[in-house]
Amino acid sequence: MKASLIQMNSQGDKAANVAAAEQLIEKAVAEEKPDLVVLPELFAYLGVDPAQIHASGETFPDGDTYQRMSKLAARLKVTIHAGSVVERRGNRFYNSTVVFGPEGQELARYSKIHLFDVDVPGGASFRESDTISRGDEVVTYKLGDRTIGCAICYDLRFPELFRALRDKGADVIVLPAAFTLQTGKDHWEPLVRARAIETQTYFLACGQTGFFADGKKANWGHSMIVDPWGHVVAQASDGVGTTSARFDFKYLDTVRGQIPVANHHVL
């Protein structure tokens, strides 16, 4: 299995963001021929105004972004783990991932469980719960004979979710993100590598990069793929772009056989 991560710098123009995502996916598929393509969190719209965030939301499966990603997956014959978008369900809004198989079918849907309500160093405040409702389901899906686990951004700080994914059989975990510059420079790589080591999975962390919201906010980027031993095997450069890696599941099985932590849980 091979995966390509699409690192973006999404802004407040939804149409432009989705078009950019499509172009980057097409380029990655043409050049790398991956089985799985991953987009970052909130790839279709990234902003801070609650009214505009809600206005960017769409219902599934009839939403425009949903339909475009489904058709793109079918056309390219690839699985697209479509980062996350704002999903509207009645009067509630969720930060949701949808995964599309190579026939365009929905393979999985995950809504972010842990919402980012923090005051980060440098004085910036984030209150995701002001606009987004939390999900409550641990989600995996199958790609071939392998199980893929779903998480989003701030979930990264809560190892119990990743243990639950591992206990559901995850061999690969995918984390779309828009990790802040302030926290990302110190915490992104250590946390990503820790989650890979704990779960003994291939861990795909796909981030937004650069400034957004008229230069008021910034994301760390540094999208990376980490192997089950915790080594970074692929990492995106600064700026918009892609990074890819092929997974060696025999190596995954060797790591799990040498240190069988999944058999040693006592709590």
What are 24-47's pLDDT values in tens digits? 999 999 999 999 999 999 999 999
Question: What pLDDT is recorded for position 126?
Answer: 82
Query: What average pLDDT does the chain have?
Result: 96
Please give the positions annotated as active site.
Answer: 41, 112, 153
Q: DSSP letter at 259?
A: S
Q: Tokens in use for 105? A: 């079918």
Q: Tokens in use for 73? A: 């997956």
Model pTM above 0.95: yes
Give how far the C-alpha of residue 248 lies from the chain's centroid of Cα atoms, to the nearest Å: 21
Q: Tokens in use for 72? A: 């793109």
Cα–Cα distance between 14 and 9 in angstroms, integer? 12
Count of CB atoms within 10 A of residue 186's CB?
11
Three-state DSSP at 267 gives coil
- CB contact burial 120-155 (16+ within 10 A = b; e otherwise): eeeeeebebeebbbebeebbbbebeebbbbbbbbbb
What's the whole-number mean pLDDT along residues 72-88? 98
Cα–Cα distance between 86 and 116 in angstroms, integer? 15
List Cβ neighbours of 223 (8 Å cut-off, separation of 6 or more).
Answer: 5, 7, 40, 205, 206, 207, 209, 235, 236, 243
Cα–Cα distance between 40 and 205 in angstroms, integer? 8
Give the model confidence (pLDDT) of 170-185 as tens digits: 999 999 999 999 899 9
The lowest-confidence range among 161-165, 188-192, 214-218, 256-260 is 214-218
In the chain, where does DSSP find H-type helix? Answer: 14-32, 50-55, 64-76, 159-167, 181-199, 249-258
Question: What pLDDT is recorded for position 123?
Answer: 64
- With contact defined as beta carbons under 8 Å apart, do 40 and 46 qualify? no
Count of CB atoms within 10 A of residue 35's CB?
17
Domain span including residue 114: 2-263
Number of independent structural domains in the chain: 1
CATH number of the domain bearing residue 227? 3.60.110.10
